[in-house]
Amino acid sequence: MEAIDHEVKRRLELAAAIGLDPEKLWPSYFGRSRCSAFELDAYLHEALTMPAIERGRDAGKRDGEPRAEQTRPPDQHTGGQRTARRKNTENALAALGAAGKLLLTPERAEQERLKSLQETDLLETGPEDTYDRVVTAAWKFFDVGAASLSLIAEDAQYFKSVVGPLREQTPRLIALCAETVERNSMLVINDASADDRFASNPLVTGEPYIRFYAGYPLHGPRGWNIGTLCVIDQKPRAFPEADRQVLRTLAAVVQKDIDERT
């Protein structure tokens, strides 16, 4: 405990030495005005690193005046101890699940997301009636060209269930469902060919010539997004709130089954 208190004190002193208030670091790092005591403690214990803008040459100046060069206190921890401490902190943050995503490195967050997907066994099992019924219902209700339950793995998108002219798998880099998983919210594209974000996507400029897309994220253990329930069409279309609610409801049926199996 004494070593932890010393480390906190050392980092507070370092922040003060370069003219930084640790609590004021959060607006630039997370884009919001306040931080919790937990987040501040995570930063002080090396779970987070300073953004580049906070490490710039001007970070050590106040009111336009250069500050005297500061001498860093001797590090009382070996490299191995620092690595072990950082690893323990990362593991503790990972235990928070998707709620701690912003406190993890992108690499560790993706590692945890893939672990969540693996724990569902969805990639290792074949077609299942529950998912096929929901996907078919979505396809018929929205009267679209295709519908699917997609899973976003490390490098590719796989279809657990699909109706329509979609490939068995799609490179993750161009999969629209990968964008939905990253956003953590419903993604609706009324006309992909007129949307600068997707107009040059090979799935828009070539087969299956996607124009309309609506996808809702599905999550695995600990809240990590692992895939989507989506509908697509080869022509632009509107997707009013009533339709969005239907897609949410269908996704909830799938989500309930995923929750029960894990």
The yes-or-no verdict on residue 13 having pLDDT over 60 is no
The yes-or-no verdict on residue 159 having pLDDT over 80 is yes
CB 157 within 8 A of CB 169: yes
What average pLDDT does range 226-234 have in this prediction? 97
For residue 143, what are the CA distances in angstroms to 17, 132, 146, 147? 63, 16, 9, 10
Predicted pLDDT of residue 141: 96
Query: CB atoms < 10 A from the CB of 58, how many?
Result: 11
Tokens for 55? 């490490």
Q: Would you tell me the crossing angle of helices 129-142 and 241-261 to the nearest 10 degrees?
A: 180
The whole-angstrom separation of Cα 215 and Cα 177 is: 7
* Residue predicted with more confidence, 52 or 224: 224
The whole-angstrom separation of Cα 148 and Cα 40 is: 41
Residue type for position 208: P
Three-state SS for 207?
A: coil
Q: In this predicted structure, which of 11-20, 154-163, 216-225 has the lowest mean pLDDT?
A: 11-20
The yes-or-no verdict on residue 193 having pLDDT over 90 is yes
DSSP at 65: B
Q: What backbone torsions phi and psi does residue 158 show, to the nearest 5 degrees?
A: -115, 150
The whole-angstrom separation of Cα 216 and Cα 210 is: 17
The yes-or-no verdict on residue 63 having pLDDT over 50 is no
CA-nearest of 231, 224, 239, 125 to 177 is: 231
* Residue predicted with more confidence, 174 or 17: 174
Beta-bridge mates of residue 214: 188, 231
The yes-or-no verdict on residue 111 having pLDDT over 70 is yes
The yes-or-no verdict on residue 65 having pLDDT over 60 is no
Predicted pLDDT of residue 79: 66
- Alpha-helical (H) ranges within 31-172 are 37-44, 79-94, 106-120, 129-142
Q: In this predicted structure, which of 18-27, 170-179, 190-199, 242-251 has the lowest mean pLDDT?
A: 18-27
Phi-psi region of 212 (alpha: psi -120 to 50; beta: other; left: phi over 0): beta
Predicted pLDDT of residue 155: 95
Kindly indicate the confidence band of residue 165, based on its pLDDT and cuts at 50, 70 and 90: confident
Kindly indicate the confidence band of residue 87, based on its pLDDT and cuts at 50, 70 and 90: low
**What predicted TM-score, i.e. pTM, was given to this entire model?**
0.66
What average pLDDT does range 137-145 have in this prediction? 96
The whole-angstrom separation of Cα 104 and Cα 112 is: 10
The yes-or-no verdict on residue 113 having pLDDT over 70 is yes
Q: Residue ranges of the domains in the chain? A: 1-55+82-119, 129-261
For 248, residues 6+ apart whose C-beta sits below 8 A from its C-beta are: 186, 216
Predicted pLDDT of residue 188: 98
Predicted pLDDT of residue 33: 45
For 167, residues 6+ apart whose C-beta sits below 8 A from its C-beta are: none
Kindly indicate the confidence band of residue 74, based on its pLDDT and cuts at 50, 70 and 90: low
CATH fold of 129-261, please?
Answer: Beta-Lactamase (3.30.450)
Q: In this predicted structure, which of 62-76, 148-162, 241-255 has the lowest mean pLDDT?
A: 62-76
